[in-house]
A and B are shown apart, each in its own frame.
Chain A
Amino acid sequence: TQLLEQSPQFLSIQEGENLTVYCNSSSVFSSLQWYRQEPGEGPVLLVTVVTGGEVKKLKRLTFQFGDARKDSSLHITAAQPGDTGLYLCAGVRGNQFYFGTGTSLTVIP
């Protein structure tokens, strides 16, 4: 069992649409990271959020860390085919990284 649950598990949208991915847990984390993984490759870090309520923007991606540091969301505006991939959240506690179940995003041109 994984500490972090992501929803939705699969998402298929048209180019130009907006979407939000959720990452939820009952556990508190010192920080939370979001990664994107493409087939046959390892995950690549997108962002780290540390403070409860923190919001970070990376171009069309907006990341938010919950006030209680138990959950996070990733919002993508005007999705593009290049956004296609597996999005993973990872909570950091101590020396361990606890990955979420993943959200597989497909953006159709």
Chain B
Amino acid sequence: DTGVSQDPRHKITKRGQNVTFRCDPISEHNRLYWYRQTLGQGPEFLTYFQNEAQLEKSRLLSDRFSAERPKGSFSTLEIQRTEQGDSAMYLCASSLGSGDEQYFGPGTRLTVT
């Protein structure tokens, strides 16, 4: 399968714990995006990378959130000291370049109890 993959698909954690999600984009894609989607809403932009450089971050990305793409391939999104309001679907997407079609992964559903 050469699509975008995300791991894990589901994560249940207790409030205050740290969690880390992984995204593997399509191999030749330079751009990688992270979004958050809550029930009944469209995805909200969090951040994006051009190769290994993180070029833009949304105000939604508080200091408890950090994303990396160390070698310009896979990316990780870490949430520290999780809160119940962090419960959402976290989506990753990749594209060849600016303005090109985004291909989304299946998402990681986070539940904070």
Q: Which residues of A approach B to under 8 Å, CB–CB?
A: 2, 4, 6, 9, 30-31, 40-45, 48, 88, 90, 92, 95-102, 104
- Say yes or no: B40 contacts A97, CB within 8 Å: no
Whole-angstrom CA separation of A31 from B100 in the bound complex:
11
> Which of B42, B48, B105 is in CB contact (< 8 Å) with A95?
B48
Chain A residue contacts of B106, Cβ below 8 A = 40-42
Whole-angstrom CA separation of A109 from B62 in the bound complex:
45
Q: Which residues of B approach A to under 8 Å, CB–CB?
A: 4, 33, 35, 40-45, 48, 55-56, 91, 93, 98-99, 101-107, 109
Most buried by B among A42, A95, A98: A42
Whole-angstrom CA separation of A99 from B45 in the bound complex:
8
- Say yes or no: B102 contacts A95, CB within 8 Å: no
> Which of A6, A96, A104 is in CB contact (< 8 Å) with B45?
A96
* Chain A proximity of B61: nearest CB distance (Å): 13
Ordered by A's residue number, 11 sampled pairs between the chains whose C-beta atoms are within 8 Å are A31-B99, A43-B43, A43-B91, A45-B102, A90-B42, A92-B99, A99-B35, A99-B43, A101-B40, A102-B41, A102-B42
Chain B residue contacts of A90, Cβ below 8 A = 42
* Chain A proximity of B105: nearest CB distance (Å): 5
- Say yes or no: B45 contacts A101, CB within 8 Å: no
> Which of A4, A95, A98 is in CB contact (< 8 Å) with B98?
A95
- CB contact under 8 A between A45 and B45, given known A95-B55, A97-B33, A102-B40: no
Q: Give A103's nearest chain B residue, CB to CB.
A: B42
Whole-angstrom CA separation of A98 from B103 in the bound complex:
15
Most buried by A among B35, B102, B103: B102
Q: Give B95's nearest chain A residue, CB to CB.
A: A97
> Which of A6, A31, A42, A92 is in CB contact (< 8 Å) with B107?
A42
Chain B residue contacts of A45, Cβ below 8 A = 101-103
- Say yes or no: B56 contacts A48, CB within 8 Å: no
Q: Give B91's nearest chain A residue, CB to CB.
A: A42
* Chain B proximity of A96: nearest CB distance (Å): 5
